[in-house]
Amino acid sequence: MVKKYMKINGHIDQIERIGRFIQEAAKEAGFDEMESYACELAVSEACENIILHGYGDDSTGEIEVSVQTEPDKLTIELWDDAPPFDPANSPIKFDPSIDDPPIGGLGLVIMHKVMDEMEYHRREGRNQLRMRRSRKPPA
Amino acid sequence: MEINVQGYKRVTIVTVTGRVDSVTYSEFENALQAELEQGKVNIALDFSGVEFISSAGLRVLVNARKTVKNAGGRIVIAQPSQQVSETLEIAGLEVLFEQFPDRETAIAAF
The pairing of strands B74-78 and B99-100 is: parallel
Report CB contact under 8 Å: A100, B55. Answer: no
Q: Is residue A91 part of a domain?
A: yes
Query: What is the longest distance spanned by two Cα atoms in chain B?
Result: 34
Nearest CB to A15; choose among B21, B82, B95 = B21
Domains of chain A: total: 1
Taking one residue from A and the other from B, the number of pairs with CB-CB distance under 8 angstroms is 72
Domain ranges of chain B: 2-108
Mean pLDDT calculated for residue range B3-18: 96
Mean pLDDT calculated for residue range A21-44: 97
Q: Is residue A61 part of a domain?
A: yes
Q: Is residue A86 part of a domain?
A: yes
**Chain B residues touching A16 at Cβ < 8 A:** 19, 21, 23
**Chain A residues touching B57 at Cβ < 8 A:** none
Report CB contact under 8 Å: A113, B90. Answer: yes
The reported pLDDT for the residue numbered A57 is 80
Q: Return the CATH number at A49.
A: 3.30.565.10
Share of chain A above pLDDT 70, in %: 91
Mean pLDDT over all residues of chain B?
96
Instruction: Return d(Cα B28, Cα B2) in angstroms, integer.
Output: 9
Domain that holds residue A95: 2-134
The reported pLDDT for the residue numbered A105 is 84
Alpha helices in chain B (DSSP H): 25-37, 55-70, 82-91, 103-108
- Residue B71 DSSP class: T
Mean pLDDT calculated for residue range B11-22: 97
Nearest CB to A52; choose among B19, B22, B62 = B22
Nearest CB to B90; choose among A15, A100, A114 = A114
Q: Is residue A104 part of a domain?
A: yes
* Higher local confidence (pLDDT), B75 or A105: B75
Mean pLDDT calculated for residue range A43-67: 93
pLDDT category at A139 given cuts 50, 70, 90 is low
Q: Is residue A57 part of a domain?
A: yes
pLDDT category at A58 given cuts 50, 70, 90 is confident
For A64-114, the pLDDT digits (tens) are 999 999 999 999 999 999 999 999 988 776 665 556 665 568 999 999 999
The reported pLDDT for the residue numbered A100 is 60
The reported pLDDT for the residue numbered B17 is 98
Distances (CA, A) of A15 to A27, A44, B89: 18, 6, 22
Q: Is some CB atom of chain B closer than 8 A to the CB atom of A37?
A: yes
Q: Is some CB atom of chain B closer than 8 A to the CB atom of A54?
A: no
Report CB contact under 8 Å: A96, B22. Answer: no
For the domain bounded by B2-108, which CATH number is listed? Answer: 3.30.750.24
Instruction: Return d(Cα B87, Cα A27) in angstroms, integer.
Output: 18
The reported pLDDT for the residue numbered A101 is 60
The reported pLDDT for the residue numbered A97 is 56
How many angstroms separate the CA of residue A37 from the nearest CA in chain B?
7
Report CB contact under 8 Å: A101, B93. Answer: yes
Q: Is residue A103 part of a domain?
A: yes
The reported pLDDT for the residue numbered A94 is 63
The reported pLDDT for the residue numbered A92 is 73
